[in-house]
Amino acid sequence: MKGSGGSRVLMLLENNTYPQDPRVQQEARALVDSGHQVSVICPSNGSQPWHETIDGVHVYRFPAPPAANSFLGYFWEYGYSMFATLVISLFVLFKKGFDVAHLHNPPDTLVLIAALYKLMGKRFVFDQHDLSPELYYARFNNRGNQFVYRVLVFFEKLSCRLADHVITTNESYKRIAMERDGVPEARITIVRNGPDLNRVRLVEPDPDLRHKAKTIIAYAGAMGFQDGVDYLLRALYHLVHDLGRTDFYCVLMGRGAAWGCLQKLAKELALESYIWFTGWLPDTELMRYLSTADICVDPDPSSAYNDRSTTIKMMEYMALGKPIVAFDLPEHRFTAQASATYVRPNDELEFARALAQLMDDPLQRKMMGAFGRRRVETAIAWQHSVPHLLETYSGLTEARRAGRPSLTPTKEKRV
Protein backbone atom coordinates (compact mmCIF):
# COMPACT_ATOMS: atom_id res chain seq x y z
CA MET A 1 0.00 0.00 0.00
CA LYS A 2 1.11 3.52 -0.74
CA GLY A 3 1.81 5.50 2.41
CA SER A 4 -0.35 8.46 3.32
CA GLY A 5 0.57 11.32 1.01
CA GLY A 6 3.34 9.30 -0.64
CA SER A 7 4.03 8.63 -4.29
CA ARG A 8 4.36 5.31 -6.07
CA VAL A 9 7.94 5.28 -7.33
CA LEU A 10 9.45 3.06 -10.03
CA MET A 11 13.27 3.02 -9.97
CA LEU A 12 15.14 1.93 -13.10
CA LEU A 13 18.67 0.57 -12.57
CA GLU A 14 20.84 -1.06 -15.26
CA ASN A 15 24.48 -1.13 -14.20
CA ASN A 16 24.09 -2.93 -10.87
CA THR A 17 21.69 -5.17 -9.04
CA TYR A 18 19.62 -4.52 -5.93
CA PRO A 19 20.37 -4.33 -3.03
CA GLN A 20 24.08 -4.42 -3.98
CA ASP A 21 24.00 -0.82 -5.23
CA PRO A 22 24.31 1.14 -1.95
CA ARG A 23 22.98 4.45 -3.28
CA VAL A 24 19.84 2.93 -4.78
CA GLN A 25 19.25 0.83 -1.67
CA GLN A 26 19.59 3.83 0.65
CA GLU A 27 17.32 6.02 -1.46
CA ALA A 28 14.67 3.31 -1.81
CA ARG A 29 14.64 2.61 1.92
CA ALA A 30 14.46 6.31 2.78
CA LEU A 31 11.45 6.74 0.49
CA VAL A 32 9.69 3.66 1.87
CA ASP A 33 10.31 4.86 5.43
CA SER A 34 8.72 8.21 4.58
CA GLY A 35 5.54 6.64 3.19
CA HIS A 36 6.26 6.10 -0.51
CA GLN A 37 5.73 2.84 -2.39
CA VAL A 38 8.93 1.85 -4.22
CA SER A 39 9.57 -0.72 -6.94
CA VAL A 40 13.00 -1.33 -8.47
CA ILE A 41 13.80 -2.92 -11.84
CA CYS A 42 17.40 -4.11 -12.22
CA PRO A 43 19.55 -6.98 -13.55
CA SER A 44 20.09 -10.16 -11.53
CA ASN A 45 23.47 -11.39 -10.34
CA GLY A 46 22.48 -14.89 -11.47
CA SER A 47 21.35 -16.32 -8.15
CA GLN A 48 18.64 -13.83 -7.22
CA PRO A 49 14.90 -14.45 -7.78
CA TRP A 50 13.18 -12.43 -10.43
CA HIS A 51 10.88 -10.85 -7.83
CA GLU A 52 11.12 -10.34 -4.09
CA THR A 53 10.34 -7.72 -1.45
CA ILE A 54 13.30 -6.43 0.59
CA ASP A 55 12.61 -4.08 3.52
CA GLY A 56 9.39 -2.95 1.87
CA VAL A 57 10.98 -2.39 -1.56
CA HIS A 58 9.51 -4.45 -4.42
CA VAL A 59 12.38 -5.71 -6.58
CA TYR A 60 11.99 -7.07 -10.13
CA ARG A 61 15.03 -8.49 -11.92
CA PHE A 62 15.95 -9.60 -15.41
CA PRO A 63 18.90 -11.85 -16.38
CA ALA A 64 22.00 -9.68 -16.70
CA PRO A 65 23.66 -9.48 -20.13
CA PRO A 66 27.38 -10.33 -20.49
CA ALA A 67 29.76 -7.58 -19.42
CA ALA A 68 30.71 -5.37 -22.37
CA ASN A 69 34.13 -3.96 -23.31
CA SER A 70 33.49 -2.79 -26.88
CA PHE A 71 31.09 -0.54 -28.78
CA LEU A 72 29.08 -3.49 -30.10
CA GLY A 73 29.11 -5.06 -26.64
CA TYR A 74 27.70 -1.93 -25.04
CA PHE A 75 25.13 -1.60 -27.83
CA TRP A 76 23.89 -5.14 -27.11
CA GLU A 77 24.02 -4.70 -23.34
CA TYR A 78 22.04 -1.46 -23.31
CA GLY A 79 19.59 -2.53 -26.01
CA TYR A 80 18.79 -5.82 -24.30
CA SER A 81 18.58 -4.18 -20.85
CA MET A 82 16.27 -1.44 -22.10
CA PHE A 83 13.91 -3.96 -23.68
CA ALA A 84 13.84 -6.10 -20.52
CA THR A 85 13.31 -3.01 -18.34
CA LEU A 86 10.48 -1.78 -20.55
CA VAL A 87 8.67 -5.13 -20.45
CA ILE A 88 8.92 -5.38 -16.65
CA SER A 89 7.95 -1.72 -16.22
CA LEU A 90 4.72 -2.36 -18.14
CA PHE A 91 4.04 -5.28 -15.81
CA VAL A 92 4.59 -3.03 -12.77
CA LEU A 93 2.43 -0.30 -14.33
CA PHE A 94 -0.57 -2.59 -14.64
CA LYS A 95 0.02 -4.54 -11.42
CA LYS A 96 0.89 -1.75 -8.96
CA GLY A 97 0.97 1.48 -10.91
CA PHE A 98 3.46 4.28 -10.34
CA ASP A 99 3.49 8.06 -10.29
CA VAL A 100 7.23 8.73 -10.64
CA ALA A 101 9.85 7.09 -12.87
CA HIS A 102 13.18 7.49 -11.04
CA LEU A 103 16.05 6.77 -13.46
CA HIS A 104 19.47 5.86 -12.08
CA ASN A 105 22.21 6.32 -14.66
CA PRO A 106 24.28 5.05 -16.40
CA PRO A 107 23.13 4.48 -19.07
CA ASP A 108 21.34 7.71 -19.94
CA THR A 109 19.52 5.89 -22.74
CA LEU A 110 16.96 4.78 -20.15
CA VAL A 111 15.49 8.25 -20.73
CA LEU A 112 13.62 6.74 -23.69
CA ILE A 113 11.56 4.64 -21.27
CA ALA A 114 11.07 7.58 -18.92
CA ALA A 115 9.93 9.73 -21.86
CA LEU A 116 7.24 7.18 -22.73
CA TYR A 117 5.84 7.34 -19.23
CA LYS A 118 6.09 11.10 -19.12
CA LEU A 119 3.73 11.15 -22.10
CA MET A 120 1.33 9.21 -19.84
CA GLY A 121 1.53 11.94 -17.21
CA LYS A 122 4.14 10.35 -14.94
CA ARG A 123 6.79 12.44 -13.22
CA PHE A 124 10.43 11.81 -14.13
CA VAL A 125 13.44 12.08 -11.78
CA PHE A 126 16.92 11.78 -13.30
CA ASP A 127 19.38 10.56 -10.64
CA GLN A 128 22.82 11.21 -12.13
CA HIS A 129 25.28 8.79 -10.53
CA ASP A 130 27.93 9.31 -13.23
CA LEU A 131 28.87 11.66 -16.05
CA SER A 132 28.35 9.17 -18.89
CA PRO A 133 30.30 11.07 -21.60
CA GLU A 134 33.36 11.52 -19.36
CA LEU A 135 33.03 7.97 -18.04
CA TYR A 136 33.12 6.64 -21.60
CA TYR A 137 36.43 8.35 -22.32
CA ALA A 138 37.86 7.27 -18.96
CA ARG A 139 36.98 3.62 -19.64
CA PHE A 140 38.83 3.72 -22.95
CA ASN A 141 41.85 5.70 -21.65
CA ASN A 142 40.82 8.86 -23.55
CA ARG A 143 40.83 6.97 -26.86
CA GLY A 144 37.07 6.91 -27.34
CA ASN A 145 35.15 7.70 -30.50
CA GLN A 146 34.09 11.36 -30.79
CA PHE A 147 30.76 10.41 -32.37
CA VAL A 148 29.92 8.10 -29.45
CA TYR A 149 30.87 10.89 -27.04
CA ARG A 150 28.48 13.31 -28.79
CA VAL A 151 25.69 10.73 -28.66
CA LEU A 152 26.25 10.31 -24.91
CA VAL A 153 26.14 14.08 -24.42
CA PHE A 154 22.86 14.14 -26.37
CA PHE A 155 21.26 11.52 -24.12
CA GLU A 156 22.55 13.28 -21.01
CA LYS A 157 21.00 16.56 -22.18
CA LEU A 158 17.77 14.80 -23.09
CA SER A 159 17.61 13.17 -19.65
CA CYS A 160 18.26 16.44 -17.84
CA ARG A 161 15.86 18.52 -19.89
CA LEU A 162 12.98 16.04 -19.83
CA ALA A 163 13.32 15.41 -16.11
CA ASP A 164 10.94 17.11 -13.72
CA HIS A 165 13.84 17.10 -11.29
CA VAL A 166 17.55 16.24 -11.50
CA ILE A 167 19.43 14.72 -8.57
CA THR A 168 23.23 14.94 -8.59
CA THR A 169 25.84 13.54 -6.20
CA ASN A 170 28.01 16.65 -5.79
CA GLU A 171 28.55 20.27 -6.75
CA SER A 172 30.70 19.40 -9.78
CA TYR A 173 27.90 17.34 -11.33
CA LYS A 174 25.42 20.09 -10.53
CA ARG A 175 27.52 22.61 -12.46
CA ILE A 176 27.64 20.26 -15.48
CA ALA A 177 23.84 19.92 -15.40
CA MET A 178 23.47 23.70 -15.35
CA GLU A 179 26.22 24.69 -17.79
CA ARG A 180 26.27 21.83 -20.32
CA ASP A 181 22.69 20.60 -20.06
CA GLY A 182 20.87 23.89 -19.42
CA VAL A 183 18.99 22.80 -16.28
CA PRO A 184 17.74 25.66 -14.06
CA GLU A 185 19.26 25.51 -10.58
CA ALA A 186 15.78 25.27 -9.06
CA ARG A 187 15.33 21.85 -10.72
CA ILE A 188 18.51 20.35 -9.24
CA THR A 189 19.08 18.84 -5.81
CA ILE A 190 22.38 17.46 -4.50
CA VAL A 191 21.94 14.13 -2.70
CA ARG A 192 25.38 12.93 -1.69
CA ASN A 193 26.50 9.29 -1.46
CA GLY A 194 27.04 9.35 2.29
CA PRO A 195 27.80 6.03 4.03
CA ASP A 196 25.13 4.39 6.17
CA LEU A 197 26.74 4.17 9.60
CA ASN A 198 24.51 1.22 10.52
CA ARG A 199 26.21 -0.77 7.74
CA VAL A 200 29.70 0.71 7.56
CA ARG A 201 31.13 0.14 11.03
CA LEU A 202 34.23 -1.24 12.68
CA VAL A 203 34.20 -4.91 13.69
CA GLU A 204 36.80 -7.28 15.08
CA PRO A 205 39.87 -7.46 12.78
CA ASP A 206 40.47 -10.63 10.80
CA PRO A 207 43.32 -12.51 12.54
CA ASP A 208 44.57 -14.27 9.41
CA LEU A 209 44.83 -11.02 7.45
CA ARG A 210 46.33 -9.20 10.45
CA HIS A 211 49.21 -11.70 10.58
CA LYS A 212 50.09 -11.30 6.90
CA ALA A 213 52.35 -8.27 7.45
CA LYS A 214 53.15 -5.35 9.71
CA THR A 215 51.06 -3.00 7.56
CA ILE A 216 47.80 -3.97 5.86
CA ILE A 217 46.78 -1.82 2.88
CA ALA A 218 43.21 -2.08 1.56
CA TYR A 219 41.28 -1.16 -1.57
CA ALA A 220 37.51 -1.74 -1.74
CA GLY A 221 35.47 -0.92 -4.82
CA ALA A 222 34.90 -1.45 -8.51
CA MET A 223 37.84 -2.39 -10.71
CA GLY A 224 37.01 -0.81 -14.03
CA PHE A 225 39.65 0.67 -16.32
CA GLN A 226 38.85 4.14 -14.95
CA ASP A 227 39.31 3.16 -11.28
CA GLY A 228 43.10 3.25 -11.22
CA VAL A 229 43.87 -0.11 -9.64
CA ASP A 230 46.62 -0.47 -12.24
CA TYR A 231 48.15 2.74 -10.85
CA LEU A 232 48.00 1.20 -7.39
CA LEU A 233 49.76 -1.97 -8.57
CA ARG A 234 52.56 0.03 -10.16
CA ALA A 235 52.84 2.10 -6.96
CA LEU A 236 53.20 -1.14 -4.97
CA TYR A 237 55.91 -2.22 -7.41
CA HIS A 238 57.78 1.02 -6.61
CA LEU A 239 57.18 0.42 -2.90
CA VAL A 240 58.91 -2.97 -3.13
CA HIS A 241 61.58 -2.46 -5.79
CA ASP A 242 62.49 1.23 -5.45
CA LEU A 243 61.82 1.88 -1.75
CA GLY A 244 62.74 -1.58 -0.48
CA ARG A 245 59.57 -2.09 1.54
CA THR A 246 58.33 -5.64 1.91
CA ASP A 247 56.57 -5.25 5.28
CA PHE A 248 53.07 -4.82 3.83
CA TYR A 249 50.20 -6.83 2.39
CA CYS A 250 47.50 -5.33 0.17
CA VAL A 251 43.98 -6.75 -0.01
CA LEU A 252 42.04 -5.74 -3.13
CA MET A 253 38.29 -6.18 -2.67
CA GLY A 254 35.99 -5.84 -5.64
CA ARG A 255 35.75 -6.77 -9.27
CA GLY A 256 35.11 -5.15 -12.64
CA ALA A 257 35.91 -4.98 -16.35
CA ALA A 258 39.66 -4.62 -15.69
CA TRP A 259 39.82 -7.65 -13.35
CA GLY A 260 41.64 -9.98 -15.74
CA CYS A 261 44.08 -7.32 -16.91
CA LEU A 262 44.89 -6.38 -13.31
CA GLN A 263 45.69 -9.95 -12.34
CA LYS A 264 47.95 -10.25 -15.38
CA LEU A 265 49.69 -6.98 -14.48
CA ALA A 266 50.21 -8.10 -10.87
CA LYS A 267 51.92 -11.23 -12.14
CA GLU A 268 54.12 -9.25 -14.54
CA LEU A 269 55.16 -6.99 -11.66
CA ALA A 270 55.90 -10.00 -9.42
CA LEU A 271 53.50 -8.78 -6.74
CA GLU A 272 51.73 -12.08 -6.00
CA SER A 273 53.37 -12.37 -2.55
CA TYR A 274 52.14 -8.93 -1.53
CA ILE A 275 48.54 -8.75 -2.76
CA TRP A 276 45.26 -10.63 -2.63
CA PHE A 277 42.38 -10.19 -5.11
CA THR A 278 39.29 -11.27 -3.17
CA GLY A 279 36.56 -10.45 -5.67
CA TRP A 280 33.28 -9.04 -4.38
CA LEU A 281 32.64 -9.83 -0.72
CA PRO A 282 29.54 -9.88 1.48
CA ASP A 283 29.33 -6.97 3.90
CA THR A 284 30.42 -9.07 6.87
CA GLU A 285 33.76 -9.96 5.27
CA LEU A 286 34.20 -6.54 3.69
CA MET A 287 33.84 -4.79 7.05
CA ARG A 288 36.13 -7.30 8.74
CA TYR A 289 38.94 -6.81 6.24
CA LEU A 290 38.55 -3.03 6.15
CA SER A 291 38.57 -2.99 9.96
CA THR A 292 41.92 -4.83 9.81
CA ALA A 293 43.51 -2.33 7.42
CA ASP A 294 46.09 0.21 8.58
CA ILE A 295 45.91 2.31 5.40
CA CYS A 296 43.21 2.53 2.71
CA VAL A 297 43.81 3.71 -0.84
CA ASP A 298 41.83 5.50 -3.54
CA PRO A 299 44.03 5.40 -6.67
CA ASP A 300 41.57 7.03 -9.11
CA PRO A 301 43.80 8.83 -11.65
CA SER A 302 43.10 12.35 -12.79
CA SER A 303 40.67 12.51 -15.72
CA ALA A 304 37.71 14.61 -16.80
CA TYR A 305 35.53 11.99 -15.10
CA ASN A 306 37.41 11.30 -11.88
CA ASP A 307 38.20 14.96 -11.20
CA ARG A 308 34.45 15.65 -10.87
CA SER A 309 33.35 12.45 -9.14
CA THR A 310 32.88 11.59 -5.46
CA THR A 311 33.81 7.99 -4.66
CA ILE A 312 31.84 5.89 -2.23
CA LYS A 313 34.92 3.94 -1.18
CA MET A 314 36.64 7.06 0.13
CA MET A 315 33.70 7.92 2.38
CA GLU A 316 33.48 4.33 3.66
CA TYR A 317 37.16 4.43 4.55
CA MET A 318 36.51 7.66 6.47
CA ALA A 319 33.51 6.17 8.26
CA LEU A 320 35.78 3.41 9.55
CA GLY A 321 38.39 5.90 10.74
CA LYS A 322 41.03 4.82 8.23
CA PRO A 323 43.76 7.12 6.84
CA ILE A 324 43.76 7.39 3.05
CA VAL A 325 46.33 7.84 0.30
CA ALA A 326 44.85 9.30 -2.89
CA PHE A 327 45.76 11.35 -5.92
CA ASP A 328 45.04 15.05 -5.47
CA LEU A 329 41.72 15.40 -7.32
CA PRO A 330 39.23 18.24 -6.62
CA GLU A 331 36.36 16.12 -5.27
CA HIS A 332 38.76 13.85 -3.35
CA ARG A 333 40.13 16.87 -1.50
CA PHE A 334 36.65 18.29 -0.84
CA THR A 335 35.41 14.96 0.52
CA ALA A 336 38.31 13.71 2.61
CA GLN A 337 40.04 16.96 3.61
CA ALA A 338 42.60 16.16 6.36
CA SER A 339 41.81 12.43 6.44
CA ALA A 340 43.87 11.80 3.32
CA THR A 341 47.44 12.25 2.11
CA TYR A 342 47.27 13.75 -1.38
CA VAL A 343 49.73 12.83 -4.12
CA ARG A 344 50.49 14.63 -7.38
CA PRO A 345 47.92 13.19 -9.84
CA ASN A 346 48.94 9.99 -11.60
CA ASP A 347 52.45 9.91 -10.05
CA GLU A 348 52.86 6.27 -8.99
CA LEU A 349 56.28 6.68 -7.34
CA GLU A 350 54.99 9.55 -5.19
CA PHE A 351 52.01 7.36 -4.27
CA ALA A 352 54.47 4.70 -3.08
CA ARG A 353 56.41 7.28 -1.07
CA ALA A 354 53.20 8.50 0.59
CA LEU A 355 52.36 4.91 1.55
CA ALA A 356 55.83 4.39 3.02
CA GLN A 357 55.58 7.60 5.03
CA LEU A 358 52.24 6.59 6.55
CA MET A 359 53.47 3.05 7.18
CA ASP A 360 56.13 4.55 9.48
CA ASP A 361 53.85 7.05 11.26
CA PRO A 362 51.09 5.34 13.30
CA LEU A 363 50.30 8.57 15.19
CA GLN A 364 49.62 10.43 11.94
CA ARG A 365 47.45 7.55 10.75
CA LYS A 366 45.42 7.74 13.96
CA MET A 367 44.91 11.51 13.67
CA MET A 368 43.86 11.29 10.01
CA GLY A 369 41.44 8.46 10.73
CA ALA A 370 39.85 10.31 13.64
CA PHE A 371 39.34 13.42 11.47
CA GLY A 372 37.68 11.37 8.73
CA ARG A 373 35.30 9.70 11.18
CA ARG A 374 34.27 13.08 12.64
CA ARG A 375 33.69 14.52 9.18
CA VAL A 376 31.43 11.63 8.24
CA GLU A 377 29.45 11.84 11.46
CA THR A 378 28.94 15.60 11.31
CA ALA A 379 28.60 16.31 7.60
CA ILE A 380 28.52 13.52 5.00
CA ALA A 381 26.91 10.39 6.48
CA TRP A 382 23.80 9.25 4.61
CA GLN A 383 21.55 10.69 7.33
CA HIS A 384 22.60 14.18 6.18
CA SER A 385 21.50 13.43 2.58
CA VAL A 386 18.06 11.99 3.33
CA PRO A 387 16.34 15.38 3.94
CA HIS A 388 17.40 16.58 0.48
CA LEU A 389 15.93 13.46 -1.18
CA LEU A 390 12.68 13.76 0.75
CA GLU A 391 12.45 17.47 -0.04
CA THR A 392 12.68 16.64 -3.73
CA TYR A 393 9.83 14.15 -3.48
CA SER A 394 7.75 16.52 -1.38
CA GLY A 395 8.00 19.06 -4.19
CA LEU A 396 7.09 16.44 -6.80
CA THR A 397 4.07 15.31 -4.79
CA GLU A 398 2.80 18.85 -4.29
CA ALA A 399 3.32 19.68 -7.97
CA ARG A 400 1.52 16.51 -9.06
CA ARG A 401 -1.48 17.32 -6.92
CA ALA A 402 -1.55 20.91 -8.17
CA GLY A 403 -1.01 19.82 -11.79
CA ARG A 404 1.99 22.11 -12.31
CA PRO A 405 5.71 21.69 -13.08
CA SER A 406 7.86 20.80 -10.07
CA LEU A 407 10.47 23.34 -8.99
CA THR A 408 12.05 22.27 -5.73
CA PRO A 409 14.88 24.64 -4.82
CA THR A 410 18.04 23.03 -3.55
CA LYS A 411 19.39 24.09 -0.17
CA GLU A 412 22.55 21.97 -0.28
CA LYS A 413 25.54 23.64 1.36
CA ARG A 414 29.21 22.96 0.77
CA VAL A 415 30.45 21.27 3.95
Q: Where are the domains of the chain?
A: 8-193+385-402, 207-380
Relative orientation angle of helices 362-375 and 312-319, to the nearest 10 degrees: 110
Domain 8-193+385-402 has CATH 3.40.50.2000: yes
3-state helix vs strand vs coil in the chain, percent to 5: 45, 15, 35
Is the domain 207-380 a CATH 3.40.50.2000 member? yes
State residue 267's pLDDT score: 97
Kindly give the confidence (pLDDT) of every residue in the chain, 415 residues in length, as a single tens digit, with 9 standing for 90 and above.
Answer: 444 468 999 999 998 999 989 899 999 999 999 999 999 999 998 889 999 999 999 999 999 887 666 667 677 888 899 999 999 999 999 999 999 999 999 999 999 999 999 999 999 999 999 999 999 888 887 777 899 899 999 999 999 999 999 999 999 999 999 999 999 999 999 999 999 999 999 999 999 999 999 999 999 999 999 999 999 999 999 999 999 999 999 999 999 889 999 999 999 999 999 999 999 999 999 999 999 999 999 999 999 999 999 999 999 999 999 999 999 999 999 999 999 999 999 999 999 999 999 999 999 999 999 999 999 999 999 999 999 999 999 988 776 666 655 554 444 555 5
The predicted model scores a pTM of 0.88
pLDDT attached to residue 409: 47
Tell me the three state secondary structure of residue 165: strand
Specify the 3-state DSSP secondary structure of 65: coil
Q: Same CATH topology for 8-193+385-402 and 207-380?
A: yes
Backbone angles phi, psi at 315, to 5 degrees: -70, -30
Instruction: Please state, in angstroms and as integers, the Cα–Cα distance from residue 59 to each residue in 3, 51, 128, 235, 324, following that order.
Output: 18, 6, 21, 41, 35
Instruction: Indicate the burial class of 326 (C-beta count within 10 angstroms; 0-12, 13-18, 19 or more).
Output: buried
Strands (E), 14-156: 37-44, 51-54, 57-63, 100-104, 123-128
Spatial contact of 173 and 128, defined as CB atoms under 8 Å apart: yes
